[in-house]
Amino acid sequence: MQTEAEHAEFLALLKAAQEQVAYLKELGVEGTEKQPTETAGRKGFASDKPEEAYATAALQHQVAAAATASDSLFGDLSSPPLRIQKSSETFEEIWADIGDCTRCPLYQGRTNIVHTDGNRKARLMFVGEAPGADEDAQARPFVGRAGQLLTKIIEAIGLKREEVLIGNVNRCRPPANRPPTPEEAAMCKPFLLREIAAVQPEVIVVLGNTAMKNLLDLKQGITRVRGQFQDYQGVKVMPTFHPAYLLRDPTKKKETWEDIKKVRDYLDSTRKQES
């Protein structure tokens, strides 16, 4: 049997809880509008008085709302995501470090080292896995049949090839155009990352499974990840099929076009915000 003093204390707690809930609502905290029921209150306090049940449940809501508030008011209190730092390096400085590279066995069969090509202030960058025969001969990335298709894709979203940046994870052609091994990619990847840090493109399109896994360290295959923006140190990354794969299976062109349209729409939206 509760005394009048205890009853008054519960009513005071109820009023305080209601005031706190109203305050949190004013701050935009969601999830405080659900009214506690008498049954919910009795889970925390065995009482036949609805006021007491309401007060107990309201206090439970207050605690939950406070936890929500810590996220909505102050953001995620965990460590901030790693963001790529702007580099003052020039491509020439990076390429000088590469030199006449013999870091992996691929140098033995190459004609030329194929460096990243294009606009060094580009908002959009394309990254493939490694040069093919035409690229090895001309010392430029994506100049063969797959490169010609990539140029058409770039033009389809209203850009010119010289307005974007195009490169590969590896700069030497693997024998018979096989994918680079993880060890070969590990030797070359740091130079690509230095170029990305120097340019800081808004979006990187990774072309094919090998390029995607090397840049993003993902376990899933390209068919499961394509079309979904990923993150590389604060840079948006769109995985899609490699143009060489599209030449072998033209039915995948529609899916690739849907992926590229998302890139176009994102770049258009950020341009409008800047203007």
- 215-265 confidence digits (pLDDT tens): 998 989 999 999 999 999 999 999 999 999 999 999 999 999 999 999 999
What's the pTM value of the predicted model, to 2 decimals?
A: 0.70
Residue given tokens 């072998």 in the structure block: 248
Lowest mean pLDDT among 61-65, 142-146, 211-215, 243-247: 61-65
Strand 117-118 vs strand 124-128: parallel, antiparallel, or unpaired?
unpaired
Query: For residues 218 and 173, which has the higher predicted lDDT (pLDDT)?
Result: 173
* pLDDT for residue 271: 84
pLDDT at 72 over 60: no
Report d(CA 190, CA 186) in Å as an integer.
7
Lowest mean pLDDT among 46-55, 121-130, 251-260: 46-55
Report d(CA 169, CA 232) in Å as an integer.
15
Q: Dump the DSSP string for 221-243.
A: -HHHHTTS-EEETTEEEEEE--H
Give the H or E element holding residue 31.
Answer: none
Q: What is the pLDDT of residues 81-113, one digit of tens each?
A: 566 788 999 999 999 999 999 999 999 999 999
Contact 220, 189 (CB under 8 A): no
Largest distance between two CA atoms of the chain: 94
* pLDDT for residue 258: 98
Query: For residues 106 and 23, which has the higher predicted lDDT (pLDDT)?
Result: 106
Whole-number mean pLDDT of the chain? 82
